[in-house]
Amino acid sequence: MITIIDYGLGNILAFVNLCKRIGIQTKVAHDAAELVGAERIVLPGVGAFDHAMELLQASGMQPTLEELVLDRKVPVLGVCVGMQILANASDEGVREGLGWIPGRVRALRSALPHNARLPLPHMGWNDVKPVNGPSLLEGFENEARFYFLHSYYFECASPEHVAGTCDYGVTFACMVRCGNIYGVQFHPEKSHRFGAGLLKTFSRV
Amino acid sequence: MLRPRIIPCLLVHNNGLVKSVRFKDYKYVGDPINAVKIFNEKEADELIVLDIDATAEGREPDFKMIAHLANECRMPLCYGGGVKTAEQAKQLVRLGVEKVAVSSAAIETPQLISRIAEEVGRQSCVVVLDYKHSKTGAYEVYTHNGTRATGRDAVAFARQLEALGAGEVLVNSIDNDGVMKGYDVPLARRLKESLDVPISVLGGAGTLDHVRELISACGVIGAAAGSMFVFKGSLKAVLINYPAENRKNEVFAATR
């Protein structure tokens, strides 16, 4: 059973539908009470960093979420902006992130070589390479391709937390992991068989 | 590396799917949900759904129909048609649409793009420009299914909307629509050189060779098409189709 956090951001239904298709039960949590007892958690998100943190705080779920993830070590998967808020802070905003994985979210533009002239947002299907073990790419480490749609990326303070990388003018961490805490910049819920494989693996960690 | 995107574009008219030729002669080609299911199985890169009645009838998006589509769609979904406010864009994103396409409302009120980008994020704000290529070499933007000329140049206007916050620009050639003789590659190149956001082009694709032609000239780009994915053969029999992985890889080899 995967509990998907609905704090007003991200494509909740897409996760529910994909999980249903691959035989994983889901529950959508709209408040702290519905979050209690979660065995696996997906933290989705789209849009701006500050907005995501504001909504998560306003949802009243943050304390319960922290207890589950930090004390009880329940596996959690942050997706897109849901991954970015795992960091300490972001160049995109002024708010503090959850700070569960040390790092800072930076603008891809600032990391690209000046002569790169690559369009932003980074949009479309790109290859992902596992780092520090197969992690959530187990079973398709050699051919993992996901749908990306973002302009900011997670810069890990410590390389040991990088779980996967992607190349777009620069090599950046598109998968992060610290113990039971996972984050992916791309959208597994919109990445066909690759996303299904990743969620299956997450449901078993 | 980042791949070009091959994107089926579906037109919704009177609750069914249609395909036009030069924005006229609409032919019924099937049921929207059924088409989405087929593109799921074929693992399409993305999907664009345009409700061509909404703006023409002066009504807002059919949220019920879109919720149903978004619910079925397992690839990124771009919806366009009748979007006039940032609130509608927000509602569409809540329903599971990744990208909200705006056309005539943004052409009338360009600042709408800023408001939508602020509300749902730049990455989800797509501008669609339908245009005609005049004999004088101008690319003029049209609205209301190709019936109203705006006097605006497609490239200059795309740049303006990019500056206001558009995260992607989709250009649609009215002259090439449904003709299946190839994309307007010169305009695609000009746009690609002029913009810093991703672009997608629609209009003219009849075969994968046309897609190859486009990406060998422009590199990583969105290659959208309607007829190519709903018709088969010279008699244009209706058959929803999409290239298999190995065929796509052959075409993408042209970018390297």
ipTM reported for the complex, 2 dp: 0.94
Instruction: Indicate the pairing of strand B168-173 with strand B199-202.
Output: parallel
| Residue A9's pLDDT band (cuts 50, 70, 90) | confident
Instruction: Indicate the pairing of strand A89-90 with strand A76-79.
Output: unpaired
Could you count the other beta carbons within 10 Å of the beta carbon of residue A94?
Answer: 9
- Helices assigned H by DSSP within chain A: 12-21, 32-35, 49-59, 62-66, 81-84, 108-111, 192-204
Q: Which pTM value belongs to this model?
A: 0.95
Give the CATH number, domain containing residue B182: 3.20.20.70
pLDDT tens, position by position, B213-229 = 999 999 999 999 999 99
Q: In this predicted structure, what is the pLDDT of residue B256?
A: 60
Can you give the residue ranges of every domain in chain A? 2-204
Could you count the other beta carbons within 10 Å of the beta carbon of residue B15?
Answer: 11
Q: In this predicted structure, what is the pLDDT of residue B40?
A: 96
Nearest CA in chain A to B1: A126
pLDDT, chain A, mean: 95
Q: In this predicted structure, what is the pLDDT of residue B96?
A: 87
Q: Which domain holds residue B124?
A: 5-255
A22 lies within 8 A of chain B by CB: no
pLDDT tens, position by position, A105-143 = 999 999 998 888 899 999 999 999 999 999 999 999 899
Q: What is the DSSP string of A86-129?
A: TSSEETT-SS----SS-EEEEEHHHHS-TT----SSEEEEEE-E
The arithmetic mean of pLDDT across residues A198-204, rounded, is 97
pLDDT tens, position by position, B136-173 = 889 999 999 999 999 999 999 999 999 999 999 999 99
CA distance B118 to chain A (A): 9
Per the listing, tokens 């410590």 go with A158
Each residue's pLDDT expressed in tens, for chain B with a length of 256 residues: 999 999 999 999 999 999 999 999 999 999 999 999 999 999 999 999 999 999 989 999 999 999 999 988 999 999 999 999 999 999 999 888 999 999 999 999 999 999 999 989 899 999 999 999 988 889 999 999 999 999 999 999 999 999 999 999 999 999 999 999 999 999 999 999 999 999 999 999 999 999 999 999 999 999 999 999 999 988 899 999 999 999 999 999 987 6
Tell me the C-alpha to C-alpha distance, in Å, between residue A73 and each of A100, A181, A205, B139, B159.
12, 8, 12, 58, 48
User: Cβ A124–B167 below 8 Å, yes or no?
Assistant: no
Task: Name the domain count of chain B.
Answer: 1
Contact A48, A95 (CB under 8 A): no
Residues B190, B195, B197, CA angle at the centre, nearest 5°? 130
Q: What is the DSSP string of B26-83?
A: EEEEE-HHHHHHHHHHTT-S-EEEEETTTTTTT----HHHHHHHHHH--S-EEEESS-
Per the listing, tokens 């408001």 go with B115
Residues 6+ apart with CB under 8 A from A114: none
Contact B242, B251 (CB under 8 A): no
Q: Which residues of A are catalytic?
A: 80, 187, 189
d(CA B223, CA B8): 9
Q: In this predicted structure, what is the pLDDT of residue A60?
A: 97
Q: In this predicted structure, what is the pLDDT of residue A171?
A: 97
Instruction: Give me the CATH topology for the region A2-204.
Output: Rossmann fold (3.40.50)
Distance of alpha carbon A106 from its chain centroid, rounded?
Answer: 15
Tell me the C-alpha to C-alpha distance, in Å, between residue B230 and each of A144, B6, B217, B227.
29, 14, 25, 5
User: Cβ A121–B197 below 8 Å, yes or no?
Assistant: yes
A13 lies within 8 A of chain B by CB: yes
d(CA A47, CA B157): 25
| CB-defined contacts A:B, below 8 A | 89
